[in-house]
Amino acid sequence: MQLTDNDTIAAISTPPGSGGIAVLRVSGPDALAAIHPLFSTPEKLAPRQAVFGHLTHPDLGEGIFDDCVVTFFKGPNSVTGEDLVEISIHGGAYLQHKLLDVLVLSPSVRLAGAGEFTLRSFLNGKIDLSRAEAVADLIHARDAAAHKNARQQLSGGLKALVESFAERLRHILVIIEAELDFSDQEINFTPTEKLLTPVLGVKAKTRDLIETYFYGKRLEDGFRVPIIGSPNSGKSSLFNLLLGQDRAIVTNQAGTTRDTIEKGFIFADHTVVLVDTAGIREAGVQAEISGVGRSKDEISRADFIIQVSAPDTEPLSLELPEDLETIDVYNKIDMDKTPPEGYDIYLSCNTRQGLDELKKMIYSHVVNISNAGVDGVIISSERHKDALRRFYTQLEACERAVLDALGPEYIASDIRLALDVLGEITGETTPDDILNQIFAGFCVGK
């Protein structure tokens, strides 16, 4: 994708064949000229007015091709910052593709690349890079929590926070530069504290923001919660019960589940990926040994686990990592009148006794990991985390330069480097190849 293209692009903005109404967008200097020969009443097209009419042209076939509503946005007052025409037609796959084919017959119009409309919004200063990325997050949001976070970022939350960091650092630069201007005169150097306080303040907030990534990642991938335990303890029964469907095979034979099965479900507005695993024991046959290996892998990837024990099975013969959050479930309580003490939940998959308590406990684990963020901002992008880490390292360098009294030139240079790294988040200093990579990850039409 060329970042500097200023030609006219066209694409279907709704998934083809989705029925209902489809929207085709044309953006660029020739957007209006491209629709003119096809539209019944082009003279009525005025900025920001939806005009009903129909599409007719020999290239579209005989007679009326379709009824349509055309809306024209005059640049720069459009989402891309360019002249933009939106054509709403009926949503059939043939209709959409045929119209697109005919639009790109015009020599000045070509098919849009992935994410190119959003790229143009960014290049024309309509949105910063963090908001452009939020568009992709909004589209991919699987649950209410991910949606809320994408909306927060789309409304400029991350940008505002990053700008407040930059503002504080620029203020230090102003002080230092004033000092440099008067360095040949007898003036007092700025007290260390005046320079250090803002650096430390920004540094602390940056660290907190980096920490939100742990939760932000879960907003994207869901919370991974394997059900672990000895064979026959009722893991698959519990998996089915929590999902509300008979997904995993349940039998009275120990060693029934040999491969892991996973299924996501929405819980407390978040996606929880529940994983049914093979019962862990010193197993005989190869398939079961492999299954036990996978159960152990799941433990290493888990956000927290549900460990199941039962009166008629051996205790789990595996030491779990000490820092792993665990919900200890004693299942088959219907079989045991005097259960041992010390479990979090006493459950019967058969009678559902204890199920509500277990759900509440899962809820509190999810909410416990959930994080209010820094000024409401949670980062979920690896790219943002990486840039913030490098920014943090640069702030450490500033801090050292101030403490070691290295001199105003050194401090100023470290601050400028820190500002450059920060600019990568909003796109001010992001290299073109990274921009290409980000926008190529969007779908065509966005």
Binding site for ligand GTP (CB under 6 A): 229, 231-237, 250-252, 254-257, 278-279, 331-332, 334-335, 348-350
Out of ligand GTP, Mg ion, none, what residue 331 binds, judged by CB under 5 to 8 A for its kind, is: ligand GTP
Selection from Mg ion, ligand GTP, none that 307 binds (CB < 5 to 8 A by kind) is none
Query: What, of Mg ion, ligand GTP, none, does residue 234 touch, CB below 5 to 8 Å by kind?
Result: ligand GTP
Least distance (Å) between residue 334 CB and ligand GTP: 5
Judged by beta carbon, residue 200 or residue 254, the one nearer ligand GTP is 254
Please state the closest distance from residue 305 (CB atom) to ligand GTP, in A. 14
d(CA 50, CA 443): 26
- We find the least distance from the C-beta atom of residue 226 to Mg ion, in angstroms, to be 12
Task: Select 165 or 330, whichever has its Cβ closest to ligand GTP.
Answer: 330
Dist. CA 245–CA 137, nearest whole Å: 29
Q: Which does 231 bind (CB under 5 to 8 A by kind): ligand GTP, Mg ion, none?
A: ligand GTP
Q: Which of Mg ion, ligand GTP, none interacts with 423 (beta carbon under 5 to 8 A by kind)? A: none
Least distance in angstroms from the C-beta of 276 to Mg ion? 6
Q: How far are the Cα atoms of 46, 113, 429 from residue 83, in angstroms, in the given order?
A: 12, 18, 27
* Closest to Mg ion by CB, 56 or 290: 290
CB of 338 to ligand GTP, least distance (A): 16
Give 190 or 256: the residue with its C-beta nearer to Mg ion. 256
Cα dihedral 323, 327, 330, 334 in deg (nearest 10): 180
Closest C-alpha to 34, from 55, 17, 4, 13: 55
Is residue 324 within 8 A of residue 308, CB to CB? The reply is no
Query: Residue holding tokens 């789990």?
Result: 316
233, 224, 210: which is closest to 328 by C-alpha?
233
Cβ closest to Mg ion, residue 24 vs residue 329: 329
Please identify, using beta-carbon distances, which residue of 51 and 318 lies nearer to Mg ion: 318
Which residues, numbered 216-235, are part of the site for Mg ion (CB under 5 A)? 235
From the list Mg ion, ligand GTP, none, which binds 153 (C-beta under 5 to 8 Å, kind-based)? none
Please give the C-alpha separations between residue 109 and each of 10, 11, 103, in angstroms, as whole numbers: 7, 10, 7
Q: How many of the chain's residues bind Mg ion (CB under 5 A)?
A: 4
Amino acid 71 reads T
Element (H, E) at 221: helix 192-221
430 touches, from Mg ion, ligand GTP, none (C-beta below 5 to 8 Å by class): none
Contacted entry of ligand GTP, Mg ion, none for residue 335, CB cut-off 5 to 8 Å set by kind: ligand GTP
Cα separations in angstroms, 278 against 72, 199, 297: 59, 51, 11
Q: Which is nearer to ligand GTP, 25 or 235 (CB)?
A: 235
Q: Is 240 in the site for Mg ion (CB under 5 A)?
A: no
Q: How near is the Cβ of 230 to ligand GTP at its closest, in Å? A: 7
Please answer whether residues 398 and 411 qualify as being in contact, where contact means their C-beta atoms are separated by less than 8 angstroms.
Answer: yes
Task: Name the minimum Å distance from CB 354 to ligand GTP.
Answer: 9
Residue nearest to ligand GTP (CB): 279
Q: What one-character-per-residue DSSP string does 37-104 give?
A: TTBS-GGG--BT-EEEEEE--GGG-SS--EEEEEEEE-TTSSSSSS-EEEEEEE--HHHHHHHHHHHT
Distances (CA, A) of 124 to 24, 66, 165, 419: 21, 33, 24, 22
Contact 250, 240 (CB under 8 A): yes
- CB under 5 to 8 A by kind: which of Mg ion, ligand GTP, none does 237 bind? ligand GTP
Question: Is residue 68 within 8 Å of 102, Cβ to Cβ?
Answer: no
- Main-chain phi, psi angles of 11, to 5 degrees: -165, 160
Which residue, 88 or 237, has its beta carbon nearer to ligand GTP?
A: 237
Burial annotation 408-439 (CB, 10 A radius, 16+ → b, else e): bebbbbbbebbbebbbbbbbeebeeeebbebb
Region 249-288 residues binding Mg ion, contact defined as CB under 5 A: 256-257
Quote the CA–CA distance of 413 and 173 in Å, as a whole number: 9
Q: Which residues are 39's β-sheet partners? A: 55
d(CA 322, CA 137): 34
Based on the shown chain and the rule CB under 5 A, indicate whether residue 236 belongs to the binding site for Mg ion. Answer: yes
* CB 273 to ligand GTP: min, Å: 18
Rounded least distance, CB 317 to ligand GTP, Å: 13
The nearer residue to ligand GTP, 68 or 349, going by C-beta atoms, is 349
Cβ 242 to ligand GTP shortest distance, Å: 12
Compare residues 121 and 313 and give the one whose CB is closer to ligand GTP.
313
**Residues of the shown chain interacting with Mg ion in the complex, contacts defined by CB under 5 A:** 235-236, 256-257
